[in-house]
A and B are shown apart, each in its own frame.
Chain A
Amino acid sequence: MIGLIGKKLGMTRTFQEDGRSVPVTVIQAGPCVVTQVKNLSRDGYSAVQLGFGTKKPKNTPMPMQGHFRKAGSDPLRTVHEFRLDTGHAYKLGQTLGVSELTEVVRVDVTGITKGKGFQGGIKRHGHHRGPAAHGSKNVRDPGSIGMHTFPGRVLPGKAMSGQMGNKQQTKKNLTVVAIDQERNLLLVKGSVPGATNGIVFIRPSR
């Protein structure tokens, strides 16, 4: 099993027999179309490219329209490649659904996190706040960002303010709670990165 492209639909809860509540994220994982099969001799590596979602032909560049036509498919919203060892049986134009995951216990889900804009160190990195009273003027300031003449520079990777979110993130080892093959729905325990209707990539956990 390689992986799937899906759409995050939102969250709800399920109950176990013993009464415990399990928070779940519902992902529409499929149908995905195999839009290209890459092999060692032609491409230098082995991979399967999947497409998911719908896109109007008038919004699809002509080269991409030709690419989808080769797979016998309508234009698709997202295309993503999954690396795979040689010797698999995936064929161009094949349609994959959530049934690919029937034997998978845990998955990794990759998505683009919600954008928070330009944020300070407190929200972005969990820095502590300065004192708020007694004439303090560094309530949410970053404080000292380094040492002295030595090293005479700010160390790379110093946690400061900047863009937060809107960045690819992977959540690993999410338990598969249920699979609905009819509607291509995948229920995983807990949250996944990104907003509702965001595109996520699902891979079986190692």
Chain B
Amino acid sequence: MNIIDQMRAANLRTDLPDFEIGDTVNVGVRIVEGNKTRTQNFIGTVIARQNAGNEASFTVRKMSGGVAVERVFPVQSPNVESISIKKKGRIRRAKLYYLRGRTGRSARIREARR
């Protein structure tokens, strides 16, 4: 393994659950306002993951008052304080970008059978 790959793979955080694409997750985002720090929850569906060690990221999509909001979080960022899985999804795609063109019933994801 070359040094760059070693550096990407070193000191990765292990405190996050194994969430997958299609899951509904609650992401605890650290927000700094002046000198106060608080945690904001961002609840939505994981529609994409980019796996690249230190540079890995995931995209969460949610509907907020009729407007779709997508946020890309770097997995290793200290601003991502926690992730909890609220629902496992049953999906057949690696990237759920098709959800962007849909609303209402057709934008739902079936829950995975356990």
Contact = CB atoms under 8 A, between A and B. Distances in A.
A12 B78 contact: no
A9 B4 contact: yes
A19 B76 contact: no
B80 to A, nearest CB: 8
A21 B55 CA distance: 10
Interface residues of B, number: 14
A52 to B, nearest CB: 16
Interface in A105-127: none
Interface residues of A, number: 15
A15 interface: yes
Interface in A1-55: 9-15, 17-19, 21, 26, 28
B78 A9 contact: no
Is the contact region of chain A dominated by helix, strand, or loop, or is it mixed? Answer: strand
Contacts of B77: 15, 19, 21
B79 interface: yes
Contact of B7 (A12, A15, A19, A21): A12
Contacts, number: 34
A15 B3 contact: no
Interface of B: 2-4, 7-8, 30, 32, 54-55, 74, 76-79
B54 A13 contact: yes
B93 to A, nearest CB: 27
Given A26-B3, A183-B3, 7 more contacts: A10-B2, A12-B55, A13-B74, A15-B74, A15-B77, A15-B78, A19-B79
A13 B10 CA distance: 12
A13 B74 CA distance: 11
A26 B7 contact: yes
A18 B3 contact: no
Q: Which 5 pairs between the two chains have the least Cβ-Cβ distance?
A: A19-B79, A10-B4, A19-B78, A9-B4, A19-B77
Nearest to B8: A12
A180 to B, nearest CB: 9
A176 interface: no
A17 B77 CA distance: 9
